[in-house]
Amino acid sequence: MTDNVDMKEKLLEEVGHVSYKALNYAKTLVKPGALVKEVAIAAEKYLNDQGYAPAFPINLSINNEAAHYTPSFDDERIFTETDIVKVDFGAYKDGISGDCAITIDLSGKNGKLIDAANYALDAALSKLRAGITSSEIGREINTVLLKYGVKPIRNLGGHGLDIDNLHSGFFIPNYDDGSVDVLEEGMVISIEPFATNGKGMVADSDRCEIYSYVETVQPRLNSSRALIKNIEEHFSSTPFAVRWLANGIDSHFNIYSGINELVKLGAIEAHPILLEIGNGMVSQSEVTVLVEANGCKLLTK
């Protein structure tokens, strides 16, 4: 039993370290004038070349996009000198996922917003240990954000990570939500402050490029049948991007009509781009940690 625990911890550290390296590689690519799609492809290839899969499609959410923006297969968006970019990325191997994020200010005008998320993360980590409640962590995050004159995003936060489960259901709020859920030794969790100068809430947009597999179905459309077969074979354990499925699908219409049918049938779940409801700028800082009796071990380093 001890050997199994040690092997899992070693793999957690390995995947966490590779996740951190991939995040920092992606950071070097985010520059004004760069094509977002090319950055995403290069960052994901970086993991593949080292023998890892992405734990999820790289998120390159910009400005008031808080999360879940990844480019489409025909995306022509570029980064600009006014953008604040959240890079959220992680590696996957043998059921283990890493998850980490940084914010890049291409404008040079949002330093306080970025510092707020970073220092809120530091404050949370300094208090983190087995026996503390998730709401106590949220209180630490919120206190720092308010000192910087910004707000937490109240309906986003950190989460547990389990085998083949990027979001295990254990939630770490970015404010004191009154939860009495207790962190236990051996838990793997992400701490993920989101800061904004907007209203402090996000809502689904009408755009979605990230999905996850739910169950097998028998769809009507030929394009849907080809897609679900591909998804079952290659992406049943991790979220995937529509652009990862584009090979062999001959048109924009066919791929998205197939995706829409699979969503309606409950075969896949949509994860739409999340927008700050007050159109506020958003920053994010995230690490994955292993909860210990008297603290935590940083895995994404």
Mark 130-146 as b/e (b = at least 16 C-beta within 10 Å).
beebbbbbbbbbbebbe
Query: Which residues are within 8 A (CB) of 220 and not within 5 positions of it... i.e. 6 or more apart?
Result: 261
Residue 191 near residue 121, CB atoms below 8 Å: yes
User: Out of 13, 44, 65, 159, which one is annotated catalytic?
Assistant: 159
Residue 286 near residue 100, CB atoms below 8 Å: yes
- List the structure tokens of 67: 């999360």
In whole angstroms, give the CA distance from residue 140 to residue 176.
8
Mark 66-86 as b/e (b = at least 16 C-beta within 10 Å).
bbbbbbbbebeeebeeebbbb
User: Out of 44, 65, 99, 261, which one is annotated catalytic?
Assistant: 99
User: Out of 44, 192, 209, 261, which one is annotated catalytic?
Assistant: 192
User: Out of 13, 83, 261, 286, which one is annotated catalytic?
Assistant: 286
Provide the 8-state DSSP code for 270.
E
In whole angstroms, give the CA distance from residue 106 to residue 26.
14
Nearest partner of 274 among 66, 72, 84, 89, judged by Cα: 66
- List the structure tokens of 196: 């904004």
User: Is 99 considered catalytic here?
Assistant: yes
Side chain identity at residue 170, one-letter code: F
- List the structure tokens of 227: 């897609």
User: Is 88 considered catalytic here?
Assistant: yes
- List the structure tokens of 295: 């603290």
Give the CA distances from residue 17 to residues 21, 128, 165, 271, 277, in Å, rounded to whole numbers and listed in that order: 6, 20, 19, 26, 34
User: Out of 13, 65, 83, 88, which one is annotated catalytic?
Assistant: 88
Nearest partner of 61 among 71, 76, 74, judged by Cα: 71
Give the CA distances from residue 29 to residues 77, 105, 237, in Å, rounded to whole numbers and listed in that order: 14, 13, 28
**Active-site positions?**
88, 99, 159, 167, 192, 286
